[in-house]
Amino acid sequence: MNEGVTIYIGPHRIYEYVCQHRFPFELIPTFQDMEQSDSSVQAADLFTYALVDFIVNEYGLEALNHLIRSPDSLEDILGVNRSEFEKQWQQYMNQHYTNR
């Protein structure tokens, strides 16, 4: 998630463009895959950006700040279990990115 935060805070126009025009829905990894190893996930930087975008827009910057400081406390911070969080993230990507 750290890479996604860095991209989100810094210049990220190219990521916004890809999300809006060429989002690779066929490559969406599971949340577990993202937690285990960014190196095994294709376009990991794009998906970590999408994850941070989702967290900020759905839960707010304060929640993101808490997750950065305590990444193992997702359920306590966001009030949802990991399975529900992943489902919400996938729904967010399908609703907010590329018109298919």
pLDDT at 100: 45
Using the predicted structure, report yes or no on whether residue 64 has a pLDDT greater than 60: yes
Contact call for residues 12 and 49 (beta carbons, < 8 A) = yes
pLDDT at 39: 67
Q: How many residues does the chain have?
A: 100
pLDDT digits (tens, 9 = 90+) for 19-48: 888 888 888 888 788 777 656 677 788 888
Angle, to 10 degrees, between the axis of helix 44-59 and the axis of helix 61-69?
120
pLDDT digits (tens, 9 = 90+) for 81-94: 999 999 999 999 98
This prediction's pTM = 0.82
pLDDT at 77: 97
Question: Which residue from 38, 84, 32 is spatially nearest to 58, judged by alpha carbons?
Answer: 84
Region 12-20: mean pLDDT is 82
Average pLDDT value for the chain: 85
SS3 42: coil
What gap in Å lies between CA 46 and CA 38, rounded to an integer?
A: 11
Using the predicted structure, report yes or no on whether residue 1 has a pLDDT greater than 70: no
